[in-house]
Amino acid sequence: MGRIILFLMMLLPVLASAVEVTPLLDLRVRQELLDGVLHFAPDPSANWIRMRTRAGVRTVAGAHRLELRLANEHRHYLHPDADLEWNEVIIDRALWAWTPDDATTLTAGRQNIIWPGGFLMLEGHPYDGSRSIYQNAVRLQHGSLDLAFIRNLKHDQWVLINDLQRPLQDMDETGIVLRSEHGGLSWAAIYKDESDPDLVLADLVTGTLGARYERDGDDGGRLEAELAVQFLRQKSGGDDGHQDATALAAQVFLTEPVGGGVRLEAGGFYYSGNSDKDWAGFRAPWGRWPKWSELYIYTLIGESTPGRVTVAAWENIAAPRLQCHIPVGTNLDGRCGLTYLLAPEPDWEPRGLLTQAELKADLGGGLKGHLLWEMLVPGSFHDGRHNLAPLTDTVHFLRWQISWAL
């Protein structure tokens, strides 16, 4: 990876005078207020402003494309009070892509890999709060096939300024992913090997097989369904052998127009939890992002499975979910929803009722914004009986965001 990055940085100035050059610039400013969400901390409230800046360049010469982009995100904590730390710069993107024909693209370097729906593949490292979602990978896309080799480290070795100690995920990870799409049906296979250089967590190997079906109706409706079966082997790191287990995850949603541009979405999702030695909590390979809730990912930090941490880890959780998408005005869209969260293990106890409301605005000129509010009324699963800090009061999450991209 280091050689690839250095090669790109040396090559870009040479090519800049001979090829099409496009600057890559964007800015994102957001404020987030967490009222009681961090219930496991002495002071459960938080209020911060996050500012992310990214700058880079894309060069294209025939079938070849080079991209280099740097990123910085600093937080100003309003509560609890903390000193502002802004002096970190990371390499967010550094890739070479070759497209010899319309059906084939080979990409090597630091890149984003996002599969439709993001159920199994979207987030390269969940610990930095959406500052970056890159994968260090070599990826081949040919026709309906998508094949990639991925190697991500727990601590990024290619930080330009500061931030060398920030963990990006649980462990160092090596993976091979394959996806094949045939019309509305796609198949996926993911092999992932994780080992902790800090020797805190046990080594883990997972194999995940997935199937996804999506169909758009003539009336504007849409059906989306996905199923994943996972096989886990947790290595002890010593002479205690290992433990094999199986996990399961699924989602299904139907969206239908109901008139006036309003769309109603109904369905649900499921991630298995630990039931016995042969049934395990599902570990989304690269699906650990706020797919279902911005609020609830923070609540999950207070949970744990032996030998692993659970930042944004969707496991032992299921829910029916109902959402309504409403056009509010010109370039302004609204969304509201209800999600009744459950813990399948041990007895399908209620985690609570989650309500969400969001406004999204396209202001033109590359400027966009949104306002998001979420509220959780906790259920009996959070009463403190499951070796968790009790969560009994209603909690809230509020965020406004403005972003601009060239």
Count of the separate structural domains present in the chain: 1
Q: How confident is the model at residue 318 (pLDDT cuts 50, 70, 90)?
A: very high
Neighbours of 347 (CB within 10 A): 9
* Averaged pLDDT for residues 105-122: 96
Residue 160 parent element (H or E): strand 159-161
Structure confidence at residue 331 as a pLDDT band (50, 70, 90): very high
pLDDT of residue 239: 44
Q: Give percent of the chain with pLDDT exceeding 90.
A: 68
- Domain coverage including residue 378: 2-405
What is the mean predicted confidence (pLDDT) over 129-143?
Answer: 94
338-363 pLDDT tens trace: 999 999 998 999 999 999 999 999 99
Beta strands in 196-297 (DSSP E): 204-216, 222-235, 242-259, 262-271
What percentage of the chain exceeds 70 in pLDDT?
92
CATH at residue 51: 2.40.160.100
> What pLDDT, on the 0 to 100 scale, is given for residue 238?
45
Lowest mean pLDDT: which of 55-64, 235-244, 246-255, 332-341?
235-244
On average, the pLDDT of the chain sits at 90
Q: Is the dihedral of CA 101, 102, 107, 110 positive or negative?
A: positive
Q: Which two tokens stand for residue 73?
A: 């995100």
Length reported for the chain: 406
| Dist CA 139 CA 334 (whole Å) | 36
- How far is residue 318 from each of residues 90, 120, 207, measured CA to CA in Å? 36, 16, 22
| pLDDT tens digits for range 255-310 | 999 988 999 999 999 999 988 666 889 999 999 999 999 999 998 888 866 666 67
pLDDT tens digit sequence for 90-103? 999 999 999 999 99
Residue 353 in tokens: 């009722």
Q: What is the pLDDT of residues 351-396, one digit of tens each?
A: 999 999 999 999 999 999 999 999 999 999 999 888 888 999 999 9
